[in-house]
Amino acid sequence: MPDAVRVRFAPSPTGLLHIGGLRTALYNYLLARQTGGAFVLRIEDTDRSRYVPEAEQDILAGLAWAGLALDEGPTQGGDAGPYRQSERRDLYADAARLLVEGGHAYVAFDTADEIEAMKARRRTDANPTPGYDASTRGEMANSLTLPADDVAARLADGAEHVVRLRVPEDQTITFTDRVRGEVSFDTATVDDQVLVKSDGMPTYHLANVVDDHAMGITDVIRGEEWLSSVPKHLLMYRALGWTPPRLAHLPLILSPTGGKLSKRSADRLGIPVSVAQYREAGFEPEAVVNFLALLGWNPGTDQELFTLPELAEAFDVERIGTSGAQFSLDKLEWFNGQHLRRLSSEEIADRARQSVETAVGPVPDDALVTAAELMHERLTKASDLAQATYLFQDPEAYDPAGVKKRWKDDSAALVRAYADRVEALETFDIETTEAAMRELAEAEDAGFGRIVHPVRLAVTGTTVGAGLFETLVAVGQDASVARMRRAADRLG
């Protein structure tokens, strides 16, 4: 029986939670739920220059919105805390010391200028980006080249320094990625990564390895951008005598035009990129989650519609795809409509309330639910309900194209005649209003369509919407009659 699965989502609080980040979080969450393991949130705030104070709150809000409940994290705690890297510095310092003492890392004093000078010196057409590595570390100022007492003196002096990983020269690091299979790197292509920055903070690489080990993380699921740093991480695990977690690197989410889905490209294409934007755009979390889950993973069956628990059951790391997936707003909207249709009218009313009230002011509960019932099958987003303003107030205008198409010479007279019949109805419901119209059509020897379309226009101001008689009932007897007469007067 293997150890219980522990996974983490480890975002850096440098901005709003990105949609790609949410997918990474989702896959981790799914694995945790499916195995009965733990889903941990760790805030990787080791870069002071890029730190955004509101980001952590946004990450928390985004995960909560999507329904990805945390088992451990900075706000609810857990046995493996603290969950912010800025609060775990001692751990990193200890690990760095161990690495240096074991000869797997070293202290370096080079300034940025000196490193740049080395690179300039080494730069050739064949090698435009020389690294700080086994081939160059010998000519730099570090504890490998300087006499021990000099190093000690500098350190005692408080000289600025970093700790670098001492990457061996000629090794091949091979590992198994659960998505990609066997991957290998030659250490000659890996440079001596800075592990501790001159401000004393660890870089991602050190902190990540230390924390994944300290927190008992068994499975790392993260973006493909980390694949090439795996050898560095593995070298550290080996040097520290720790067992590395299982690894799975996710293909990236691409913009609809194929490039990287960056803030900038997304803005240009008019697609949201942060989770907060999806929420504001009126997408349902269930739909976003479903869409994201299928962007790079598939269940191997024809099922496309999933709830979060269904996803947790069907999820399988081995079925994650290998190639980048382009984001498609069309498909997301389809998922949104599908998930909307699975909600009750009460739930839709709830989710549409804000947009509706922004459009027409306060609306009573029952009116909102009635409206939701009527428009249920027609909504792509709950907020679309706000477009049917006629369900809540008299139409202010009549769609010109609709008038042109549907309002004929006899329309005013027919609408007035129908208004009279509706007004006289003792029972006002779908059956009686429809019967009244059929009778009128017969009496006037006018086609049903000659009446129904103008009446819709008169009552709603548009040519589209739910069934007319259902709409009439929702609007109410008096209001319907009044609207018909007013339209007959106005449109002539």
Partner RNA sequence: GCCGCGUUCAUCUAGGGGUCUAGGAUGCCACCCUUUCACGGUGGUCACACGGGUUCAAAUCCCGUACGCGGUACCA
Q: Which residues are catalytic?
A: 263
The residue within the footprint of RNA, chosen from 342, 464, 476, 490 (CB under 7 A), is 464
Name the one residue in this structure whose structure tokens are 């819709």: 456
Residue 202 Cβ vs RNA, minimum distance, rounded to whole Å = 7
The residue within the footprint of RNA, chosen from 246, 260, 279, 486 (CB under 7 A), is 260
Site for RNA in 185-224 (CB under 7 A): 185-186, 189, 191, 193-194, 197-199, 201, 203-204, 224
The residue within the footprint of RNA, chosen from 245, 282, 285, 465 (CB under 7 A), is 465
Q: Please name the residues in contact with 89: beta carbons below 8 A apart, sequence gap of 6 or more.
A: 200, 201, 202
Near RNA by CB under 7 A, which window of 134-142, 289-297, 342-350, 413-421? 289-297
Region of residue 489 (left: phi > 0; alpha: psi -120 to 50; beta: else)? alpha
Comparing CB distances to RNA, the nearer of 308 and 365 is 308
The residue within the footprint of RNA, chosen from 102, 103, 259, 309 (CB under 7 A), is 259
Contact 118, 136 (CB under 8 A): yes
The residue within the footprint of RNA, chosen from 6, 9, 12, 209 (CB under 7 A), is 12
Question: 79 burial class (0-12, 13-18, 19+ CB within 10 angstroms)?
Answer: exposed
Number of residues this chain uses to bind RNA (CB under 7 A): 89
Site for RNA in 84-113 (CB under 7 A): 110-112
Question: 90 burial class (0-12, 13-18, 19+ CB within 10 angstroms)?
Answer: exposed
The residue within the footprint of RNA, chosen from 25, 254, 368, 412 (CB under 7 A), is 254
Residue 168 Cβ vs RNA, minimum distance, rounded to whole Å = 15
Both tokens of residue 441? 């059509």
Contact 175, 182 (CB under 8 A): yes
Residue 249 Cβ vs RNA, minimum distance, rounded to whole Å = 8
Contact 459, 475 (CB under 8 A): yes
227 binds RNA (CB under 7 A): yes
Nearest to 109 by CA among 51, 155, 64: 155
Comparing CB distances to RNA, the nearer of 6 and 42 is 42
Both tokens of residue 412? 């005013």
Nearest to 253 by CA among 175, 324, 151, 164: 324
Own/partner long-range contacts of 186-189 (Cβ < 8 Å, ≥24 apart) = 187/134, 187/231, 187/235, 188/133, 188/134, 188/135
Helix or strand run (H / E) with residue 424: helix 411-424
Comparing CB distances to RNA, the nearer of 103 and 467 is 467
Residue 4 Cβ vs RNA, minimum distance, rounded to whole Å = 25
Site for RNA in 29-88 (CB under 7 A): 44, 46-47, 49-50
How far is 354 from 179, CA to CA, in rounded Å? 42
Comparing CB distances to RNA, the nearer of 353 and 456 is 456
The residue within the footprint of RNA, chosen from 326, 344, 358, 393 (CB under 7 A), is 326
The residue within the footprint of RNA, chosen from 225, 267, 280, 313 (CB under 7 A), is 225
362 binds RNA (CB under 7 A): no
Site for RNA in 377-396 (CB under 7 A): 377-378
Q: How far is CA 449 from CA 393, 435, 436, in A?
A: 25, 14, 14
Residue 463 Cβ vs RNA, minimum distance, rounded to whole Å = 4
Site for RNA in 127-146 (CB under 7 A): 127-129, 131-132
Residue 183 Cβ vs RNA, minimum distance, rounded to whole Å = 4
Residue 203 Cβ vs RNA, minimum distance, rounded to whole Å = 4
